[in-house]
Amino acid sequence: MKHFLAALTLTLTTTPAFAQDKMTIMLDWFVNPNHGPIIIAQEKGYFAEANLEIEVITPADPNDPPRMAAAGRVDLAVSYQPELHLNARDGLGLVRVGTLIETPMTCLVVRGDGPVESVADLAGRKVGFAVAGLQEMLLDAMLLHNGVDPSEVEQINIGWSISPALMSGQVDGVIGAFRNFELNQMDLEGIEGRCFYPEAEGVPSYDELIYVARADTLEPEKIARFLQATERAVADILNDPQGMAEVFFSTSAELRNELNVRAWADTWPRFASRPAAVDHGRYNRFEAFLLDQGSIDALIPASDLVVDVTAAVPE
């Protein structure tokens, strides 16, 4: 199976006229259109103007980013809001400091030509996942919403092999597929996919991709400059999505393929135009949902999960 997303590790730097503040950020996946604001902020010189030198690292394992941030190996990590709620119980000491994509992108995908026409049809079948804990929780919630006991579904860790595992018949469905990628990838292979959206199947809406950092060592002023630079990039994308697509794809020949071109069109409207802005209600609602379904024993207030780094920066 051809891999459409090439593993890339980029060091985003310019030659500074003076010493710049260095920051490292680990992505959640290979470099792809989901990370457009980060790449474009560099290419347009917005990080340099913010006196930042940004190193972007891709993970060897999809479970690595929050662990690396918690261990102090990177300054920021791209993670998922639902994962933050679960990690808060594991003592990682992470908080959300910004938002990259502000709408759910995850979906539960099955083959369009297969026997699964509803989530309830997964009873007695196999479903693959990539990020342990997080995606199992989402799947359990969707199953329960449709009257299926999660114990009736065999859940298999398939790592990076999301679409291939489904297309080959290894599993009957996959949770953790991104609706802007896996559906397009399957279509390019001539296979129709059917997507069940978590937010339509009992899961409250949430921020798909967020920036997380260690609460006890984060540097608000530096992170605020990072977010301001990416906010400028998002404004450029919203004003000129095709022009900014060219900027993004010009950074690497490996990025310019039909899958990524399709994914860009499905992704750019979902970027957070105010990445530093915090919706406490959204985080409190997700905590209440987790408590209601028995995934957690007690609530953690949003004020302990999210930080508005701009509040600490003088105007």
Sorted by where each begins, the domain ranges of the chain are 21-103+206-304, 106-200
Domain 106-200, CATH number (from 3.50.50.60, 3.40.190.10, 3.90.1010.10, 3.40.50.2000): 3.40.190.10
CA–CA distance from 247 to each of 34, 176, 240 (Å)? 14, 28, 11
Q: Do the first three CATH levels of 21-103+206-304 and 106-200 match, i.e. the same topology?
A: yes
Question: What is 21-103+206-304's CATH topology?
Answer: D-Maltodextrin-Binding Protein; domain 2 (3.40.190)
Short-list 82, 65, 75, 72, CA closest to 97: 75
Query: Could you give the maximum distance between any two Cα atoms of the chain, in Å?
Result: 62
List for the chain the helix, strand, coil content (%; round to 5).
Answer: 40, 20, 40
For every one of its 315 residues, what pLDDT tens digit does the chain have, with 9 covering 90 and above?
Answer: 333 333 344 444 444 445 789 999 999 988 999 999 999 999 999 999 999 999 999 998 888 999 999 999 999 999 999 999 999 999 999 999 999 999 999 999 999 999 999 999 999 999 998 877 778 889 999 999 999 999 999 999 887 778 888 999 999 999 988 899 989 999 999 999 999 999 999 999 999 999 999 999 999 999 999 999 999 999 999 999 999 999 999 999 999 999 999 999 999 999 999 999 999 999 999 999 999 988 899 999 999 999 999 986 555
